[in-house]
Amino acid sequence: MRERIAYSPIVDRPALHWPGGARVAVWIVPNIELREYQPPNDPARDPWPRSPHPDVRQFSHHDYGNRVGFWRMLDILDRFELPITASLNLEILEQLPEIRDAIGERGWAVMSHGLTNTRYLYGLEAPAERAFYRRSVDLVRRHLSVPLLGMLGPSLSASERTPDLMAEAGLVYHADWAHDDQPVPIRVEAGRLISMPYSFELNDAPLFRSHFDGDDLVRICRAQLDRLLVESEESGRVMCLAVHPFLIGAPHRARAFERVLAELSDRRDVWYATGDEIATHYLDHEQEHARATGPVAQL
């Protein structure tokens, strides 16, 4: 960690400025995932640890997200017209054309979430991980005609080389880091890479796997944005809302999700942006911030 990231307390940095003088950049990230009924065995981590495979209950709970939950989530997102960054298991572009087209037609930004959520990066040799990025970049270019700029690791997995190989493949932001309310540089062998503030707190997966439910997410989002707006008078902040269609798309959460989006919408001093837009702005305009917060000899 120390080699990749310089310790930089947020109280001791140059000011960070968002477009139009906005104080908080909000990005909304649905994680659209493809999981396998019988994934390959990975000694590092079992995607279905509850029972020997298949685990029909867990597999089909996630499958619900693509068959049903995604479409309810989409119906709600469409009414708010906020910029969306899909954190996408990229094999979906090949295998679930209706979902690919729904994303493409709306012009959402696409951040890689790996190829599937049941194939991890742990211990991958460099050639295999390079092939993984080649396929990722190619899928996005071929299906959506845009460059791939960011990644949230597949099911949050990584190898020791991941940041270096991401930068080598032309990606510029990595969302696995939960260490900050602002982007900061990550040390890589060549090229440029920044961490993009994602959230494991404003995130339906940890919340809705415990006793929290929709109304809690409404309160958490409201409180988070209120507080970040207070703290950002001098220097901009990032707020991320992460959701998963198999959870937020359940019928009993539809009303709460509408309230979450209503809380986040139409706020003064907020820049509604995609991960790609936040990263591009930071890299183009925040060199001083990056120099002050990054590892030595970066950027």
At which residue do the structure tokens 């993984």 appear?
132
Q: Does 295 bind other proteins (CB under 8 A)?
A: no
Residue 254 or 299: which CB sits closer to other proteins? 254
The answer to whether 183 and 238 are in contact (CB under 8 A) is yes
Instruction: State in angstroms the smallest separation of the CB of 57 from other proteins.
Output: 4
The answer to whether 80 and 261 are in contact (CB under 8 A) is yes
Q: Does 292 bind other proteins (CB under 8 A)?
A: no
Interface of this chain with other proteins, residues 197 to 226, rule: CB under 8 A: 208-211, 213-215
- Nearest alpha carbon to residue 121 among 156, 159, 147: 159
Residue 243 or 247: which CB sits closer to other proteins? 247
Q: Which of 42, 60, 80, 285 binds other proteins (CB under 8 A)?
A: 60
State both tokens at 246: 């198999």
Q: Does 91 bind other proteins (CB under 8 A)?
A: yes
CA dist 227 and 232 (Å) reads 9
Q: Does 42 bind other proteins (CB under 8 A)?
A: no
State both tokens at 188: 């890589």
Angle at 188 between CA 161 and CA 239, to 5 degrees: 95
Residue 115 or 165: which CB sits closer to other proteins? 115
Q: Which of 71, 80, 192, 292 binds other proteins (CB under 8 A)?
A: 71
At which residue do the structure tokens 């706020």 appear?
267
CA dist 299 and 295 (Å) reads 9
**Peptide linkage before 245 cis (omega within 30 of 0):** no
Instruction: State in angstroms the smallest separation of the CB of 126 from other proteins.
Output: 16
Interface of this chain with other proteins, residues 258 to 287, rule: CB under 8 A: none
Number of chain residues interacting with other proteins (CB under 8 A): 49
Q: Which of 255, 266, 287, 288 binds other proteins (CB under 8 A)?
A: 255
Interface of this chain with other proteins, residues 162 to 191, rule: CB under 8 A: none
- Nearest alpha carbon to residue 245 among 111, 71, 26, 114: 71
CA dist 177 and 179 (Å) reads 6
Q: Does 116 bind other proteins (CB under 8 A)?
A: yes
Distances (CA, A) of 294 to 5, 12, 16, 236, 260: 7, 13, 14, 17, 34
Query: Per-residue string for binding with other proteins, 15-34, x by CB under 8 A?
Result: -------------------x
Q: Which of 131, 146, 223, 230 binds other proteins (CB under 8 A)?
A: 131
Kindly give, in sequence order, each residue whose CB lies less than 8 Å from that of residue 107, ignoring residues fewer than 6 positions away. none
Q: Which of 18, 27, 70, 133 binds other proteins (CB under 8 A)?
A: 70
Residues that bind other proteins (CB under 8 A): 34-38, 50-54, 56-57, 60-61, 63-64, 66-68, 70-72, 74, 91, 94-96, 98-99, 115-116, 118, 131, 135, 208-211, 213-215, 247, 250-256
